[in-house]
Structure formats: C-alpha cells, structure tokens
Amino acid sequence: RNYSAIQRVTFALTNFHLSLLPLRNDDEDYYGGVLARYQRMVNQKKRKRQETQRRYRLNRQERAAMDAVRAMRF
C-alpha cells in the first residue's frame, strides 16, 4: 500500500521533471540502447531456461530407460 503511494509520487515527479526538461536526442539513443540490452538479457535467460529444461528431459528419459533395463533383468 505504501509502496504504491511512493511509486505514484515518484512517477509524478519524474513526469513533472520531464515536462520542464525534455529528453535530448542523445538521451533517446541511450534509452533505446538500454532497452535493447534488457531485451538481450531476457532472451539469454529464456535460452538458458530452455536448455536447462531440455537437459532435464533428456536425463529423465535416460533414467527411465535404465530403470526399464534393470526391471527386465529381475
């Protein structure tokens, strides 16, 4: 609840500041670069998660196959 109020005040002050001093072209370029970096970080995290899940599924299949072989021996 307090966080929401603080967040609203912060956004209001930021918007007020931007109305007094608009961003320059350099700021826009920098901001675009920051957003692109964040997107790369998201993509990298997704790839790592997918790879982890792929390895988990592969290992699970191998364990199931080994269990099946052991079960057939007895």
* pLDDT digits 0-9 by tens, 25-68: 888 888 889 999 999 999 999 999 999 999 999 999 999 999 99
Question: H helices within the chain, ranges in order?
Answer: 2-20, 25-73
Q: Print burial letters for 37-67: b (CB count within 10 Å at least 16), e (below 16).
A: eeeeeeeeeeeeeeeeeeeeeeeeeeeeeee
pLDDT of residue 73: 84
Full-model pTM:
0.55
Report the domain count for the chain: 1
Considering the chain, what percentage of its residues have pLDDT values greater than 70?
Answer: 97
Instruction: Provide the pLDDT confidence category of residue 1 given band limits of 50, 70 and 90.
Output: low
The domain in which residue 68 lies consists of 2-73
Output the six-digit token pair for 63.
């364990």
**pLDDT in the model for residue 3:** 79
54 is written with which tokens? 């792929």
* Burial environment of residue 22 by CB neighbours within 10 A (0 to 12, 13 to 18, 19 or more): exposed
